[in-house]
Amino acid sequence: RGLLLWLPAALLLVFSLPGCAATSSDVASPPHDEAAPRVSRSPSTAAGAEAAAGRSRSSAKPGAKAGAEPAAQSSARPPRPATAAKRVTIIFVDVGQGDAVLLQSGSTEVLVDGGPSAGAAAVEAAMRRAGMTGLDYVVASHMHADHIGGMGALVRNYRPKKAFIAGACDARLRAAFEAARTRIRQVRRGASLRFGAVKAKVLSPASLSGDKNADSVVLLLEANGRRILLTGDLTGPNEAGVGSITARGPPLYVLKVAHHGSAHSTDSPFLAQARPEFAVIEVGRNSYGHPSPATVTRLRQSGARIYTTQRNGTVTLTISPDGATTWRFTKSSRPLLKVRSRAASQVHSGAAVGADDTSAGGGAGAVFITRTGECYHRAGCRYLSHSRIRISLAEAKARGYRPCKVCRPPG
């Protein structure tokens, strides 16, 4: 009986000990601001959302305590801000005497021309500096070695989805496209392309003339309110056609000067229509006289600020979503003001070149050019059968003409 009297008191003592019993309100939980974030996604969009945002997966490992926040396990890059996705970067790569332009818009990566064969390494180095890891598209402006020589190796390495060309494709480059399973698309004036946030309009060629330079694929890029024109080696009547189209819109922000600044491109009527604020000449050491003093003079007279890859190195233009721009250079940041030559002040025109000369002799120091060619010749060269224009040797060199390999003139 005495035991029965003490039993209620003993039970009361046991249940009052800490840790022996707890209500649901006593269960430990993390503070509200430390709770693991929760993302609600439908199964059909979960994979795409994770890839786009780069989030770390938050599923608990087997054996983890319920309610515990898992440690970060993913090394994925953090989500890119919206401004970064809309930012556009255009890189004029210093590949020596040749053209190569990289374009990056969000996750879309593009190559326009690949420079000479030795330029592929410079393109890849520029890609690494920009954080580019692949190529989605390539554009071959035309099939000359200083524009596509390095493209084959880059195509094999990065396997772009599509290639845009005009006319017949170089056999070796076609083999690279086939090995990489890159689809080739022919483009003509009026075609519209899209590279991320960048709209690209094909302004030339409307049709093929058979002249590779004249038939260059010309792209007008529209990026965050800025217009950039990539011209390949555009020359002749097609240049006039491109000029008339660009005249319908606002001035160009950047003109990639055609044919490395050759005297036979970028004439004054074209510049009056294009109205570029900046001009970039992709050029290296050469025997052609590029860039031509006459072309540099015309560009300066148009009001353009001139950069060259020979002087400034790789030139990088970044365009923010609001249109603000940043320029970076791997060499000097100073613009080109003039080209050292006695003919620097001369502007190439029919009157400056002179009338056709039908005499057999040329006089001391004289050579001959044609109306459409890029070489200078001796008086008896077979290439002078249709056109024959007398000019001094010094002036021919200053204007970017090179010696004919057939008649081998002096100099």
pLDDT in tens, 351-396: 333 333 333 333 447 888 886 677 888 888 877 877 788 888 877 7
State pLDDT tens for residues 222-251: 999 999 999 999 998 999 999 999 999 999
Res. 68: pLDDT tops 90: no
Token code pair at residue 276: 């570029």
**Residue 25: is its pLDDT beyond 60?**
no
pLDDT score at 390: 84
Confidence check: pLDDT of 46 > 70 = no
Residue 366's pLDDT is: 85
Per-residue pLDDT at 341? 57
Tell me the average pLDDT of the chain: 79
pLDDT greater than 70 at residue 54: no
Checking if the pLDDT of 34 tops 60, the result is: no
Give yes or no for residue 303 having a pLDDT over 80. yes
| 84 and 108 Cβ atoms separated by less than 8 Å | no
pLDDT tens-place string over residues 158-215: 999 999 999 999 999 999 999 999 999 999 999 999 999 999 999 999 999 999 999 9
pLDDT greater than 90 at residue 17: no
Beta-bridge mates of residue 228: 221, 254
Percentage of residues in the chain with pLDDT exceeding 90? 59
What are 311-346's pLDDT values in tens digits?
A: 999 999 999 999 999 999 999 999 999 887 533 333
Predicted local distance difference test score (pLDDT) of residue 338:
85
Q: Percent of the chain beyond pLDDT 70?
A: 73
Question: Using one digit for the tens of pLDDT, what is the confidence trace for 116-162?
Answer: 999 999 999 999 999 999 999 999 999 999 999 999 999 999 999 99
Q: What is the 3-state secondary structure (H, E, C) of the chain?
A: CHHHHHHHHHHHHHHCCCCCCCCHHHCCCCCHHHCCCCCCCCHHHHHHHHHHHCCCCCCCCCCCCCCCCCCCCCCCCCCCCHHHHHCEEEEECCCCCCCEEEEEECCEEEEEEECCHHHHHHHHHHHHHHCCCCCCEEECCCCCHHHHCCHHHHHHHHCCCEEEECCCCCHHHHHHHHHHCCEEEECCCCCEEEECCEEEEEEECCCCCCCCCCCCCEEEEEECCEEEEECCCCCCHHHHHHHHHHCCCCCCCEEECHHHHCCCCCCHHHHHHHCCCEEEECCCCCCCCCCCHHHHHHHHHCCCEEEEHHHHCCEEEEECCCCCEEEEECCCCCCECCCCCCCCCCCCCHHHHCCECCCCCCCCCEEEECCCCCEEECCCCHHHCCCCEEEEHHHHHHCCCEECCCCCCCC
